[in-house]
Structure 1
Amino acid sequence: MAHYLYQSRIEDPIWLQPDDISFLRTRLSEAEDVIQIIEKRMEELTAHIPELTRQKHAKLVEIVSLRNVLAPVRRVPLEILTEIFELSCLPKYGFRESDLVPDMFMLTSVCAAWRKAAHTTPRLWSRLCISFAKELVPGSDFAWINDWITRCRRVPLDLYIQFDLYILELEDPDNLIMERAAQLLEYILGHFGDIIRLLDISGRPSAFLPILQLPRSSLLSLEELSFEICEAKNDTVKDLVDLFPRKVDVLLGADKLRQVKSTVPHF
């Protein structure tokens, strides 16, 4: 009979003696008892899982906290940490092509300590590089620009604005895009024009109108001015000259202005 117990498959009739039947029934009863014991133990262990899970999570939090305290960067003085931030955000190919905005937002998203260090260091926010196609889309607001410039706390601001070539190459760009460009300049110049030290901007001639139409008291801190004007078929420098036949008042009022550069590239 023993060989029947270890077969995975029984295909032939089985002939059992009374002793064999008694033996098998005893084994069956013992096996069922063991199953009941195992199930009861499993229920007892299952009841402890929530508490064990809570203890595990508590220890994981403790580990993170201890590693946080032991991290070498925690012992770096604020002055050195902010220097590292500034160096890490310096552009490789010039400020017009800079990824300063996403880089700064990434740094301030690492942890609360880094965010506090950056937000309390005005010079980190004293330079703003805006690529119209990257950072701005029609329908978005200017809240982040307001937050950025507010953090510089009246430190002189270097402002670089580039309307990307895919916009500049359009013969008849979408009116919404051009309106958005004008709104951007009007917003920045209207709220923060008096702290702009350097203004570097490239775009269609009509994009410069919000600047050229300002009164002479608008750019009191301006020291450097750079225009890169990209002409189009229906948007030329001559059109600007016709609008301002005598003078541009905003530049006459910029007493600190010492450098002006203007280029008209040809594509």
Structure 2
Amino acid sequence: MPPPDLSAGCNHCLPKIYLQDGIPIQRKLKVPFTNGIKRGRGGQQCTSFQQFEGAMTPQSDVTLAELDLPRDIIQMVRESVVPTKARKAWILDAVQDCEKSLSGASEAGSGTATLAEANRLQCKVLALQSLLAPIRRLPSEILIHVFHLYLLTASSDSHQTDVITQLTIVKPSPLVLARVCSSWRSTVNASPILWTRLNISGQGDCYAGPCVCSKQVDGFKAWMDRIAQQPWSLSIELVPPSVDVRERPSRVALSNILGHPAIARLRRLRVDAQAPITGVERQAFPSLDSLVIRWRHADYHMHFLESVFPDAPKLKKLVVVNVGNLNPVTDKLPWPNLTHLFIEGITLSKWRSVVGHCVSLQDGCFSITEQSQHVEEFVSSGNSPAEPLSLPHLTRLTFMNRPPLHHDLHEMAFPALEELNIFHGDWALGTWGTLTLHTFHNITRLTVVGRRRVQLEGAIFRLLEETPYVTDLSLDIQCDAGSLLGFLTHRRDKALLVCMEKLDVFCGINPSGDGIAGTPPPAQAPPFTDRLREMLLSRAPSSSSPTHRHPPPVLKGLKIRLPEAPWSAEAVRAIEDICRDVGLSDVEIVVVDQSRGASIPSMSILGDESDRYEHWDDGLLYFLNRL
């Protein structure tokens, strides 16, 4: 059996449902079934996959025999056999008899013997009822599909504890499914698709090479044997070795596992490690399509003569976190083939160098820092002009934390760019350069989200003036709502956002000025509602007349976000009345929590939690779909 630190969940009980020999156990009974998994039948810790397989087999009939069930019924419970018509009638009669006995036991009192008998009868009822469950009649193909969907719901937490039973609840695993009954075990073991996700935990840092516990090696290899010819996903987590020598078990190099034949079919790889190692340096992954590399902490003082990345000639999607020393020359990654790229923790000069090689990039998300602590990089940056570059296939671009729009980016070209997203979090927005903003002239979707109050004139207004073709506009920012709505109002003498059809905007109160003196009383609508009426009227159907020099399109959709405040209810009523008056029907009004520490209404900025850094296909940029 793999040891307890194998995060696949083989050393725990079924999540939410507890079974012993196929019998559902009520939580109040507090009867764990994990003994056969955590320990071998002799009470010793299982140290090999073969021992673990033995521990996975259904246990003796002692528990079922105590329920006073016929031998064929016990066999049905253990092997998931569908009962015959005659046996179904017997089961229903037996359930009725047990329920009558339960009623009698509850009337008899609460003595120890009575409670024990009630528990036994309840277990017997559950065991008999389980024989009539619809899942026993499912064809194996459907059952495998159900198992597969169940395994896909694996949470990022390796385990948690049920506060009622104190039993360990773990994320889904094929080993857990195989523990239920012999029929499920046979189905699981014969289904390679259920074994296509493997987690490996090991140790390693700059002083000790990546390694795993020697007792785990056979289990990991046996798991990969079951994958057969299926494409699969591997997750590797490396933590620093224990300081106490006595706590260091026998170790085997991680490369011993990565030499398995199944590696040739590996499609997705995720590594969480401590700088400066990844555990996959110089490893070959010929079929790898998606890669996530995360260092827990960035160290900009480290210098590397060799790349920390593997050899992955077919790589298309890459996520890199805190690897500040990216170098498209020494890192032998197929940069020209990448279609999706996420980088958090990279300076502007390195970002330019990296993306300049990604000529096939379609979707990019970047968190760019200021000049790093690298003295050489800071000095060498100087005033040397940046070389022009073009990303002809880039359709979506996202900046997080510090959008570099105050730098000169006019030499960069994004001819196919359709969507620009800016999530500045708690960072202030500087003055954005006009030449840089003109780079995004042709975008049709624009989103700006942040917690910190922004000055509209130096950033937001400039960006809106340089992006006239935006059809979908989302501004979830802290600013004076009256000024923003006034700027969005269409005027005959100025063509601004002449293509806007959908607007998503946050409307708060500025108690310190801009024409709003303090917070309005609960029974009074905030002053920005007057500006909202003017803006909607300017973009209503009646405003699109031939007399307009630049007639705007009719605004088709509106979403207003309001902070949770005493005046919010009155603001909602006022906005509904305004929209009804101007004939706008597609309206959504949302009241959001704006308390300190609350997440941005539209999304959550990626934090230090490793589980937020997913593969691109697993919802890395999920927050974009929540706007």
Please report the TM-score for the alignment, with normalisation by the length of structure 2.
0.27
**Is the contact between residue 98 and residue 129 of structure 1 (CA under 8 Å) also seen in structure 2?**
no
Unpaired runs of 5+ in structure 1? 1-55
Cα distance between partner residues in 2 of 1:98 and 1:230? 18
Structure 2 residue aligned with 1:157, among 222, 232, 235? 232
Q: Compared with structure 1, are the counterparts of its residues 200 and 74 closer, same or farther at alpha carbon in structure 2 (3 Å cutoff)? A: same
Q: Compared with structure 1, are the counterparts of its residues 137 and 60 closer, same or farther at alpha carbon in structure 2 (3 Å cutoff)? A: farther
Cα distance between partner residues in 2 of 1:194 and 1:230? 28
Give yes or no for the alignment of 1:189 onto 2:255.
no
Encode CA deviations 1:173-222: one digit per residue, 9 max, x unaligned: 56886994x72x313321132121110110112441x41133xxx21000
What is the aligned partner in structure 2 of residue 63 from structure 1? 73
Query: Structure 2: which amino acid aligns with 1:65?
Result: Q
Query: Structure 2: which amino acid aligns with 1:148?
Result: W
Cα distance between partner residues in 2 of 1:249 and 1:200? 12
Shift of 1:152: 1.0
Cα distance between partner residues in 2 of 1:83 and 1:177? 41
**Is the contact between residue 231 and residue 237 of structure 1 (CA under 8 Å) also seen in structure 2?**
no
Shift of 1:142: 1.2
Cα distance between partner residues in 2 of 1:144 and 1:102? 17
What is the aligned partner in structure 2 of residue 141 from structure 1? 216
Shift of 1:227: 0.5
Q: Mapping of 1:80-119 within 5 angstroms? A: 80-91=142-153, 93-94=155-156, 97-98=157-158, 103-119=173-189
Structure 2 residue aligned with 1:228, among 294, 316, 339? 294
Q: Compared with structure 1, are the counterparts of its residues 156 and 237 closer, same or farther at alpha carbon in structure 2 (3 Å cutoff)? A: farther
Q: Compared with structure 1, are the counterparts of its residues 148 and 130 closer, same or farther at alpha carbon in structure 2 (3 Å cutoff)? A: same
Query: Structure 2: which amino acid aligns with 1:198?
Result: R
Query: Structure 2: which amino acid aligns with 1:105?
Result: L
Shift of 1:231: 3.7
Aligned length: 189
What is the aligned partner in structure 1 of residue 318 from structure 2? 260
Q: Mapping of 1:120-139 within 5 angstroms? A: 120-132=190-202, 138-139=213-214
RMSD of Structure 2 on Structure 1 (CA):
3.8
Cα distance between partner residues in 2 of 1:248 and 1:229? 11
Cα distance between partner residues in 1 of 2:142 and 2:273? 37
Whose relative contact order is higher, 1 or 2, with alpha carbons under 8 Å and at least 6 apart?
A: 1
SS of 2:199's partner is strand
Cα distance between partner residues in 2 of 1:123 and 1:80? 13
Query: Structure 1: which amino acid aligns with 2:174?
Result: M
Q: Compared with structure 1, are the counterparts of its residues 237 and 143 closer, same or farther at alpha carbon in structure 2 (3 Å cutoff)? A: farther
Encode CA deviations 1:69-119: one digit per residue, 9 max, x unaligned: 32343321111111221222234544xx35687732121111221111111
Cα distance between partner residues in 1 of 2:277 and 2:244? 13
Q: Which has the higher strand share?
A: 2
**Is the contact between residue 196 and residue 227 of structure 2 (CA under 8 Å) also seen in structure 1?**
yes
Query: Structure 2: which amino acid aligns with 1:147?
Result: A
Q: Compared with structure 1, are the counterparts of its residues 98 and 123 closer, same or farther at alpha carbon in structure 2 (3 Å cutoff)? A: farther
Query: Structure 1: which amino acid aligns with 2:273?
Result: G
Please report the TM-score for the alignment, with normalisation by the length of structure 1.
0.57
Cα distance between partner residues in 2 of 1:178 and 1:229? 25
Q: Which has the higher helix share?
A: 1
Cα distance between partner residues in 2 of 1:98 and 1:90? 14
Q: Compared with structure 1, are the counterparts of its residues 205 and 177 closer, same or farther at alpha carbon in structure 2 (3 Å cutoff)? A: farther
Cα distance between partner residues in 1 of 2:301 and 2:264? 28
What is the aligned partner in structure 2 of residue 74 from structure 1? 136
Percent of matched pairs sharing the same residue:
26
Query: Structure 2: which amino acid aligns with 1:255?
Result: P
Q: Mapping of 1:162-181 within 5 angstroms? A: 162-163=237-238, 167=239, 180=251
Cα distance between partner residues in 2 of 1:57 and 1:63? 11
Cα distance between partner residues in 2 of 1:219 and 1:226? 14
Query: Structure 2: which amino acid aligns with 1:104?
Result: P
SS of 2:216's partner is coil
Q: Compared with structure 1, are the counterparts of its residues 114 and 211 closer, same or farther at alpha carbon in structure 2 (3 Å cutoff)? A: same
Cα distance between partner residues in 1 of 2:196 and 2:232? 5
